[in-house]
Structure 1
Amino acid sequence: MRMDTSPVRESRDFTLLLAAGTVFAFGAMITYVAIPFQVYRLTGSNLMVGLIGIVELVPLIVFGLWGGALADHFDRRRLLVACGLGQFVWVGLLALNTFVGEPRLWVLFVLAALLTSTAALQRPSREALMPRTVRHDQIAAAQALTSFGGQMGVLAGPLVGGLLIAYVGIGWCFVIDALGLLVATALYVAMRAYPHTAETTPPSLASIVEGIRYGIGRRDLLGTYTVDIASMFLAMPVVLFPALVEEVYRAPERLGLLYAAGTIGAVLATATSGWIGQVHRHGAAITVAAAGYGLCVAIAGLSPSFWIAFVFFALAGFSDMVSAIFRGTVWNQTIPEQMRGRLAGIEMLSYSLGPRAGQVRGGLVADAWNVRGAVVSGGLACVVGVAATAAALRTFWAYDARTDPHAVAERESRSARGVG
């Protein structure tokens, strides 16, 4: 059960990449708290707060895909550095907008869109570079460690952001994030170069379409995307938490605990992830974990007690993280080097769009029926959707890292290049 830390002990560049990603996640979550709070303070409108998410959606889609195409042609480490500096500039301007006179609302919206665009450009390069920094047989452990670092940032960032807002002001949230961005970018600079090992494809719409066709054409990859989207779209409960604590449990002071439950479960999953490297039937593992996520959400929705619901929401976060680690392992162990950036861009969309659509679904069902019904029906629908995906995509269900032709080909390719 102990986390496998061999990638950190053996690979300096993976350690740098892990530390930088954790700092980025931590700072991003501070700003994630600060921007909506500042919009609400300026307008008093929940609608305007919601529009921030809409404004960020299009850049996320467009620049996520474009960032993947760039990552498959240009030096990924340089892209990480350039995008890190870009994010530093945008966050610095957010701080300036806060400290100099009355903050301007339109500036907040523009900078939020620019910040999302730059982060979306950067992420495929980081995802595509990670497998290059470790041995092929360490990818599962590296994926767990990467997830652990990200979840620690997600857990600590909002807490620190809330304290900064309460005691020193919103502007200092952006200052802390900007300083973190400089530190993380310096860590990327300290990494060695990783030139492409195969012929690259110049970034274009055609290259993006080529990546999409590759992802859809491989049934095992298609299964990972479908399971993720189905889980988040059908069972994502977060938007219903305020109504749960107000209408069902009559304990609004515990809202923060519900928001933290999933992250606590995810951190626990990564901290006890040593067993994951011993599992080879990754398609079956993803299916079971994702179905477990839906089942735990449904049980939480039925729970008569807040604390029972809290435990099962934490178990849902645990199951979702296990599914995520195995999905990432499949991607990183099987996708060819020359396609990895574009597929990382598609992957980013799969776990970004599902939760957003799931929040809309949850809200509509809760208004049409009731809060418990929305949570329980979503969890049960997730179980059915995941099972249907596994039944329809037999290649995905039968995936075995030891025998899968794509995993074998990538393993032999890395061996031939002397990687790991």
Structure 2
Amino acid sequence: MAFGELIKRHLVDTRPLGVPAYRRIWLGQAVSHIGVGVTVVAVGQQVYEITHSSFYVGLIGIANLIPLIVFGLWGGAVADAVDRRKLLLAGSVVAWLATLFILVQALLGLNNVYLIFLAVALNSTGFAITGPTRGAIIPRILDRELVPAANALNSLVYSMGAVLGPMVGGVAMSHGGYAQAYAVDAVLFTANLYAALRLPSLPPLGEVTRPGARAVLDGLSFIVRSPVLMMSFVVDIIAMVFAMPRALFPELTAERFGGDLLALGWMNSAMAIGSVAGALFSGWVGRVRRQGVALSVVIAVWGLAVAAAGLVHDLRLLVLFMAVGGVADVISSVWRQSILQLYAPDEMRGRLQGAFMVVVAGGPRLGDLRAGATATAFGLTGAWVGGGLACAVTVLVVGLSVAGFRNYRAGASAQVKEEPA
């Protein structure tokens, strides 16, 4: 095979960008996620500056998690019953107002950690509504065969935002303080609003279930009855809760790098650098058939990479190891999202995307709390390295022990009712 053909087979598939509705969503996320990355690093640093405690930085995860659980599951049920364009626009407005709120508190110099937690919770509410809604929209506006490629492209913009956002955040905080960082996010987020406005009407298809507790429970029951879906959630929870070291970044910056905010920016961007590389060369990912086994292996690689990063004192090596983890993480993300979107019927997609979003977004928040608490008990290195090693061991044992997940082949359908794992 010629070198050019080999590269083409492995580069990210850009065919979904030929669909105007998807292209606008993708471009809106590409711009707005840079602002999200700015705010993530700024909030963590501001809370640490106020409290000088990694535990309080970890509590940011709880401020995110509670709205994610409540409104993520409810938002997914609503997405199955209403026009998804209108719901996406409403959730985007909520998230934008939260960004303006945290900008105002910085401009006023309030330095109140509980106001920051409130702003984070409000922003998380908006994200909990838009996340499952956007995920349920993708299979509606694209042909089925393009969905995995679209997920790789989505991962690419998330990762690029996570790379550029912390870098921009570090520069903004160095020159204009927290208010300038939050102002950048507020301006860039308008791209998401524009993309939502330009979507076509997307009323529900199939049988409409009134949103509420019953609809949410039906979605959760569907997941529990499927060992493939259930285990795809479980392995991601293991990865994020055991091995996510994000809450430890400010303390590590202070201890090993003299409090250098640019080092903090590199640290926050490191995993995303690997994710960008992994997404750019993701053309091969859709050709993997044994996705249950493959998921377990790449998540174990993520855990080992995190553990290695926690042992080094050279910033370049830390960035390298976290980037390796980022490659593994983005590959895992593409497989998990594609399994869910193609497995579920349209009338269930919103609810299942809501549950997926709670796991994907909530797992790192629990990981923040785990990291902060274990750092208090066992020290920075113990919390960081021990978590990575525990992730690698646990995901291989758990992921490979369930036959349905271990034997899963890409393309399996939910047409056949499965028994609990």
Give yes or no for contact 1:229–1:351 (8 Å, CA) kept in 2.
Answer: yes
Give yes or no for contact 1:85–1:181 (8 Å, CA) kept in 2.
Answer: no
The corresponding residue for 1:317 is 326
C-alpha spacing 1:308/1:45, structure 2 compared with 1 (3 Å): closer
Q: Distance in 2 between matches of 1:173 and 1:250?
A: 22
- Match status 1:21 vs 2:29: yes
Match of 2:210 among 202, 218, 239: 202
The corresponding residue for 2:186 is 178
**In terms of mean alpha carbon deviation, does 113-122 or 156-165 score higher?**
156-165
Give yes or no for contact 2:303–2:392 (8 Å, CA) kept in 1.
Answer: yes
**In terms of mean alpha carbon deviation, does 222-231 or 84-93 score higher?**
84-93
Match of 1:336 among 330, 333, 345: 345
Q: Deviation at 1:311? A: 2.2
Q: Deviation at 1:296? A: 2.4
C-alpha spacing 1:38/1:207, structure 2 compared with 1 (3 Å): same
Q: Deviation at 1:340? A: 0.9
Match of 2:356 among 341, 344, 347: 347
Deviations 1:203-258 (A, max 9, x none): 101111111111111100011101001112222233444565666x6776545433
Q: Deviation at 1:132? A: 1.7
| Long gaps (5+) in structure 1 | 410-420
The corresponding residue for 1:191 is 199
1:15-414 to structure 2, matched below 5 A, reads 15-37=23-45, 43=50, 46=53, 51-99=59-107, 103=110, 105=112, 107-241=115-249, 253=260, 254-301=263-310, 307-366=316-375, 368-369=377-378, 371-402=380-411, 404-406=412-414
Q: Deviation at 1:44? A: 5.2
**In terms of mean alpha carbon deviation, does 208-217 or 228-237 score higher?**
228-237
Q: Distance in 2 between matches of 1:29 and 1:255?
A: 12
Q: Distance in 2 between matches of 1:24 and 1:209?
A: 33
Q: Distance in 2 between matches of 1:177 and 1:196?
A: 32
- Match status 1:11 vs 2:19: yes
**In terms of mean alpha carbon deviation, does 290-299 or 47-56 score higher?**
47-56
**TM-score, normalised to structure 1's length?**
0.86
Q: Distance in 1 between matches of 2:375 and 2:104?
A: 40
Q: Distance in 1 between matches of 2:72 and 2:20?
A: 27
Give yes or no for contact 2:160–2:273 (8 Å, CA) kept in 1.
Answer: no
Q: Deviation at 1:344? A: 1.2
Q: Deviation at 1:141? A: 0.9
Give yes or no for contact 1:401–1:407 (8 Å, CA) kept in 2.
Answer: no
Q: Deviation at 1:351? A: 2.1
Amino acid at match of 1:334: Y
Q: Secondary structure at the match of 2:414?
A: helix
Amino acid at match of 1:127: G
Give yes or no for contact 1:17–1:130 (8 Å, CA) kept in 2.
Answer: no
**In terms of mean alpha carbon deviation, does 379-388 or 65-74 score higher?**
379-388
Q: Distance in 2 between matches of 1:93 and 1:305?
A: 37
Deviations 1:97-116 (A, max 9, x none): 544x5548465444332222
Q: Distance in 2 between matches of 1:166 and 1:309?
A: 22
C-alpha spacing 1:375/1:54, structure 2 compared with 1 (3 Å): closer
Give yes or no for contact 1:297–1:376 (8 Å, CA) kept in 2.
Answer: yes
Deviations 1:147-195 (A, max 9, x none): 1011111222222233333334433434433333333212211122222
C-alpha spacing 1:305/1:111, structure 2 compared with 1 (3 Å): closer
Amino acid at match of 1:143: N
Q: Deviation at 1:35? A: 4.2
Q: Distance in 2 between matches of 1:408 and 1:23?
A: 40
Q: Deviation at 1:39? A: 5.4
Q: Distance in 1 between matches of 2:69 and 2:196?
A: 25
Q: Distance in 1 between matches of 2:118 and 2:384?
A: 35
**In terms of mean alpha carbon deviation, does 327-336 or 44-53 score higher?**
44-53
The corresponding residue for 1:415 is none
**In terms of mean alpha carbon deviation, does 267-276 or 164-173 score higher?**
164-173
C-alpha spacing 1:34/1:301, structure 2 compared with 1 (3 Å): closer
Deviations 1:88-134 (A, max 9, x none): 333334444544x5548465444332222122122110111112222
Q: Deviation at 1:48? A: 5.8
**TM-score, normalised to structure 2's length?**
0.85
Q: Distance in 1 between matches of 2:250 and 2:102?
A: 29
Amino acid at match of 2:145: D
Q: Which has the higher contact order (CA 8 A, sep 6+)?
A: 2
Give yes or no for contact 2:59–2:368 (8 Å, CA) kept in 1.
Answer: no
